[in-house]
Each structure stands twice: as C-alpha cells, then as structure tokens.
A and B are shown apart, each in its own frame.
Chain A
C-alpha cells in the first residue's frame, strides 16, 4: 500500500467510525421516540373515550392501560449501545497519533544513539529518512488493520440490517395502531361537541358556515395526526437506509482497492439521511 493510500484509508476509516457512531446514536434516538409512544397512545385513547362518550357528565375518568413495550425496546437499545461503543473504539484506531508517535520515538532513539560518543553516528541519509520511513511503516500497518476491521464491521452491520428490516415492519404497525385509532375515533366525535366560534377564532380560514368550519377543523386535525405519524415513520425508514449505506462503506473500505470517491459519496448520503427533515 502506498503512503498516500495508507493516509487516505486512515482518514476514511476515521470518517466511517464517526459516521458509524452517528448511525448508532440515531438508532438510540429512535428507540427513545418509540418508548414515548406508549404514553402518547394512552393519553390519546383517554381523550377519545371522553370525547365519544354519550354521557361525559356521568362517566368516570378513563384510565386506558398503557401498552408496555419496554422489554422489547431494552433488548434493542442494549444492542445499539454496544454498537456505538464499538464505533467509539474504532475511532481510536483511526487516530493519526500512532504514526506521529513512531516518528517521534524513532527520532528520540536516533538522538540517544548519536549522543553516545563511543559509537559512530548514523549516516546523515539514514538519520534524515529513518523517522519518516518508520512513520510510513506504522501508517501501513494501521491502514491494513483498518481494512481488516471494516471487513468485520461489514459483517456486523449486515446482521443489524437484517434484524432492523424485520423490526421496522412491526414498529410501523405499532405506529399505525396508535395514530390511526386516534384519528379515526376523533373523526366520529359528535359535531355538537365543537364550538365553531372558537374554531373560527383560532383559524385563518374564511368560512362562516358552521358545518364547514367543523369539517375543516376535522380535516386539519386528521392531517396533523397523519403528519405526526409519518414523520416518525420517515425517521425509521431513513435510519434503515443509513444503516445500509454504512454497511456499503465498510464493504468498500475493506476492499484491496478502495474507491475513495464512492466512500465519500456514501458518507455524505448518510449525513443527509440523519438530518431530520
């Protein structure tokens, strides 16, 4: 491996490590969002029970049982925390300090040797080049190790992808249940429960007919709930895509001839996927 290639692999390895940590952190953020859904669901179901009750004046305060997914979430959180930890350690392997320290250490060794008067000094050409050559050797060893670890991380992320793909469908069903049940139930709330004057005060829409005002309000609420649901689903979907891109990054870096521009493009695409839009 040429010195330039080694430097580039170390640099790309560093970017892959940082990106891997960001992807793992995104997973943990997603699990936090999913863990909040149980309380959101409970609150929405309680609301809908009041709003659709035929006699709210006589009803007792609803207390819907919370749908607890904490055991399922904790197994997943643990797996991604460990992946995050792996990437943090991988970042240490891509540090430039090793070759710099080699250069410093070899220079110090030369100085010590040359300071011994009874020993002949090293030839100038050797003195000049030895620290730099030693640095290049360390860089080459480091780059080789980075490639080998990318091969392992490729296999590891592939396992994470497989499980995520299976889980994502279930989480989508979970979100559909929470938000669709609320939206559909809310849509059946008797029009008499709404105060069209209050809706008009809050709205900028130019309608005066009471039925239209209420219908427009219903539409607005329905769309708001759908947007909320879709925003979470999009985060789940984008995370899955970023994990797949990360897997490709590891595959490319582990190759004997790495396409640097390909890796850079993939890392940029992951960055874009991780930004909430």
Chain B
C-alpha cells in the first residue's frame, strides 16, 4: 500500500515537473497569482507526503539502530576487558619484580 502510494506520488510529481511552466501559466491565466499559489501548494503537499513516506520507511529501522548502539558498546567493553587482561600479565610480572626486590632487601 505504502509502496504503491510512493510510486503514484513519484509519478505525479514527475509529471507535474515535466510540464511545470505550462501548468503554472494555465493556472495564472485562469485565476491569477492565487491560482498559481494553490497549484504550488498542491505540488508542495505531494512532495511533503513523499518525504513523509521516506521518513516512515527510515523510522522502521530506528529501533534496530538503537540495538546496534548497544551491541557496539558491548563489544567496546569486551575489548577493554581484553586489553586489561593483557595489561594484567605485565602488571603481575611487575608486581613479582617488586616482591623479589623486597625479598632481596630482607634476606
């Protein structure tokens, strides 16, 4: 339904633009500036409706992007944990060095 409406809107907008000058001239000749304004408002309404469909299509995925944010953050935390583990190997060795130095001083 939405897809069909999108296609119809797109074709109508395209047809209007293809004959834009002549349509507006016809409107002006029959009803002056007011008629031109009315036709342009109609055209703008079609474009607004088309954009609204695009926005809705994009909005359908918004919550999935929120899930991606959570997934990316979770992986960042796991990476930080891995980095800490690598640092820990060296921290433990450094700690052992300090302990050995301490033993050296007391024996």
Contacts and interface: CB of A to CB of B under 8 A. Distances in A.
Interface string A154-195: 001001100100110010011001001100110111100000
B75 A118 contact: no
B48 A65 contact: yes
B104 A115 contact: yes
Given A90-B79, A188-B22, 15 more contacts: A54-B27, A54-B36, A55-B36, A59-B33, A67-B51, A69-B54, A82-B72, A83-B72, A86-B76, A142-B86, A152-B75, A152-B78, A170-B57, A188-B20, A188-B21
Interface in B46-102: 47-48, 50-51, 54-55, 57-59, 61-62, 64-69, 71-73, 75-76, 78-80, 82-83, 85-87, 89-90, 93-94, 96-97, 100-101
A79 B100 contact: no
Interface residues of A, number: 68
Given A54-B28, A75-B65, A167-B61, A93 B100 contact: no
B1 interface: no
Interface string A29-68: 0000000000000000100110011110011001011010
A119 B96 CA distance: 16
B51 A163 contact: no
